[in-house]
């Protein structure tokens, strides 16, 4: 099991929590992925969180230690959000892979208006492009350009993660 309680990841969680804290007080549904130790929840302990987790050993551990203000469901976050009838009040999704891998589900979530106008949204991606990527535009430039019809870019935090390499956390508001 990977340890996500690392200094640089903790700085990212603090950065995201600060951004969200300035924009929302108490929401109905803030969507996120979470660690089995509830590290994002610890940054925003009074916030209601909706967490989707793939059915793994972590899910069982999370079910047993889940704080009361968290709704935890099994499933792929990208698919579950599209199936849901709920409009979320914000989202922070830390993808451990690159933007290109998650581009289509993100755009589908935004096209289908799964988030309220003015909601804060954050994504974390690996900035590695990989050999198979033909369009070598830097990740941050590409994300800003492709998501511009749906989101207003607010801030970035690039960093290097010990297990995933170069990463960037990008924060937006829904138009």
pLDDT above 70: residue 1: no
Contact of 46 with 74, CB cutoff 8 Å:
no
- Tell me how far apart the alpha carbons of residues 75 and 83 are, in angstroms, rounded to a whole number: 11
% residues pLDDT > 70 (the chain): 90
pLDDT above 60: residue 168: yes
Which residues lie closer than 8 Å to 83 by C-beta, 6 or more apart?
Answer: none
Q: 92-151, pLDDT tens digit by residue?
A: 999 878 898 899 999 999 999 999 999 999 999 988 765 554 555 678 898 999 999 999
- Tell me how far apart the alpha carbons of residues 10 and 157 are, in angstroms, rounded to a whole number: 12
Go through the domains of the chain in sequence order and give each one's CATH number. 7-155 (3.40.50.150)
Tokens of 27: 């929401």
pLDDT at site 135: 53
**Cα dihedral 84→98→121→8 (10° resolution):** 130
pLDDT at site 132: 53
Contact of 167 with 126, CB cutoff 8 Å:
yes
Where are the alpha helices (H) located in 53-136, listed in sequence order? 57-65, 77-83, 99-111
Mean pLDDT of the chain: 88
């Amino acid at each position: 099991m990977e340890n996500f309680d690392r200094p640089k990841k903790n700085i990212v969680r603090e950065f995201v929590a600060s951004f969200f804290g300035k924009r929302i007080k108490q929401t109905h549904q803030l969507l996120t992925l979470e660690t089995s130790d509830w590290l994002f929840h610890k940054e925003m302990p009074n916030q209601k969180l909706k967490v989707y987790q793939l059915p793994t050993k972590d899910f069982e551990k999370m079910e047993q230690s889940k704080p009361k203000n968290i709704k935890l469901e099994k499933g792929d976050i990208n698919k579950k959000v599209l199936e849901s009838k709920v409009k979320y009040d914000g989202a922070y999704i830390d993808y451990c892979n690159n933007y290109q891998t998650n581009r289509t589900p993100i755009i589908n979530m935004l096209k289908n208006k799964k988030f309220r106008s003015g909601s804060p949204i954050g994504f974390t991606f690996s900035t590695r492009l990989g050999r198979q990527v033909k369009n070598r535009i830097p990740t941050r430039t590409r994300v800003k350009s492709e998501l511009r019809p749906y989101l207003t870019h607010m801030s970035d935090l690039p960093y290097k993660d010990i297990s995933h390499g170069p990463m960037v956390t990008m924060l937006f508001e829904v138009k």
